[in-house]
Structure 1
Amino acid sequence: MELNTSLDVVPVVSIALMGILLFVLGANVTRHRAIRGATGNQMPTDPTDRMFIAQRAHGNAAEYVPTLIVLIVVCALLSDGWWVQALAVVAAASRYVHALGMLTSKTLAAHGPLRDLGAMGTYASGIALGVTAIAAFA
């Protein structure tokens, strides 16, 4: 096994964009908390509540983005194949599409096309990155 010691720009930009997304979604939750104030419900459970939607969009990104970032780094170090760049783009785009789908949803009780597309892209790229890491290491 030989390590690719230089990361290409596409995986790095994809990683950076996912990191930015995670922090922007977190800032959005903080914004909602500030709007609601100290006396408002800070832990809503209503799937139509805008703060609940913001919290879940951030939480969902926080569940997937770190693992995707690690997989992209591992794959970029173990392989110089074009598919690693393609998977990095799909992963980042999927996370943005999913977040947009959640934030524009009227309720989280029902799925929408953007949310579903983002979720499927996340699953597909994550699984493909995992398989790539194993195959490149073997």
Structure 2
Amino acid sequence: MHPVVITCVAALGLLLFGLGLAISMQRFRTRTLDGHSAEPTDRLHRLVAAHANTAEFAPYLAVLFLYLGSQAPGTATVALIVAATLCRFLLVLGLLVVGRLDRPNPLRFTGALGTYLLGAALCLVALAGI
């Protein structure tokens, strides 16, 4: 297995579990056991949105990365994997630290679009290897 691929899989896992822990810590701090404010600047709301979005994409990307990483990936495939991983972090940064949840921002847009395009490209790489 390519070490960069394992690093990217681990990074996605740390992102997902780190966001989960951040939610628990924020709930403890604010004494909020269930739900969250609908206010687009509320920290808990932002964390929940970032965690939910990560939970949607990180598992499939991790499986795809592991499959491709087990196939002696070329430099281009590894670069796509790294770029997709970075896009996940950009999206989370866009949700947590830039603007409000009810308004788009460049980090969020780049992270989301990159996830879609790079994820699709990696699926095509997997299909090409069949």
- TM-score, length basis structure 1: 0.87
Partner Cα separation in structure 2 for residue 113 and residue 66 of structure 1: 24
Cα distance per residue 1:21-67 (max 9 Å; x no partner): 111111111111111115x7633323222111110001100100001
Aligned 1:1-138 pairs, distance under 5 A: 7-38=1-32, 42-137=35-130
* Identity rate, percent: 35
**Matched residue count:** 130
Counterpart contact for 1:79–1:136, Cα < 8 Å: no
Cα distance per residue 1:92-129 (max 9 Å; x no partner): 11111111111013421111111111111111111011
User: Structure 1 runs of 4+ off > 4 angstroms?
Assistant: none
Shifted more, 82-91 versus 58-67: the winner is 82-91
Counterpart contact for 1:29–1:51, Cα < 8 Å: yes
Q: What's the C-alpha RMSD, in Å, of the aligned pairs?
A: 1.5
Q: CA deviation at 1:74?
A: 1.4
Partner Cα separation in structure 2 for residue 132 and residue 20 of structure 1: 25
Give the greater-gyration-radius structure (CA): 1
Letter in 2 for 1:80: P
